[in-house]
Amino acid sequence: DTEVTQTPKHLVMGMTNKKSLKCEQHMGHRAMYWYKQKAKKPPELMFVYSYEKLSINESVPSRFSPECPNSSLLNLHLHALQPEDSALYLCASSLGGRGGYTFGSGTRLTVV
Amino acid sequence: KNQVEQSPQSLIILEGKNCTLQCNYTVSPFSNLRWYKQDTGRGPVSLTIMTFSENTKSNGRYTATLDADTKQSSLHITASQLSDSASYICVVAPSNTGKLIFGQGTTLQVKP
């Protein structure tokens, strides 16, 4: 298995809703990442987990809450989002070093 | 400051023609340089990855070059197809952090 699987592919949520994005990989990668990407812009790093521990938080608002239950799973819990949080959310995983950096196909999030 | 600059910002070519995309970077210390293809609304897909000792790397009709002395890279697409229409992102990995440095991307449109 050489894929990073993200679910759901599309999500529409109200500003008072609570939802979660899920990411899964079975490549044995020990680093997992959440990125946010707005239209026509490059991905922006949000969080990095290394060996299931949060190693980087790029000053992301607390309405985004990451969780890494095990080495294969990464969740992003969403609560009280704003319309400007609408974007493509990408998960990625890596072995570290030279290669093995793989992106998922993303979750298109719309906040209404 | 670590930066990656790509040119042109956008490009339109006819099907069957070749094209070359450029990437200049100031990232230091350098670990590797990656080219990704990203279809609209989808996650980036890796095309090539090169370390400083590699000058050329091919993946089908895609050929990437790297000049570590001048800190320049190019991505050459041969015999373009309609399916090549996408954004192409140059990404540089520093060797001292786990944070990738993304270029702004080149949007390629291949017309019949």
pLDDT, one tens digit for every residue, chain B (112 residues): 889 999 999 999 999 999 999 999 999 899 899 999 999 999 999 999 999 899 999 999 999 999 999 999 999 999 999 999 999 999 999 888 778 999 999 999 999 9
Query: Which residues in B lie closer than 8 A to residue A108 (C-beta atoms)?
Result: 41
A104: contact with B, CB 8 A cutoff: yes
Query: Which residues in A lie closer than 8 A to residue B107 (C-beta atoms)?
Result: 40
Contact A60, A77 (CB under 8 A): no
Among candidates A42, A96, A97 on the partner chain, residue whose Cβ is nearest the Cβ of B104: A42
pLDDT at residue A96 tops 70: no
pLDDT at residue A1 tops 70: no
pLDDT at res. B1:
85
Q: Give the gap in angstroms from C-alpha B52 to the nearest C-alpha of chain A.
A: 11
Contacts of A90 (CB under 8 A, 6+ apart): A6, A34, A35, A36, A37, A43, A103, A104, A106, B43, B44
A69: contact with B, CB 8 A cutoff: no
Contact A101 B34 (CB under 8 A): yes
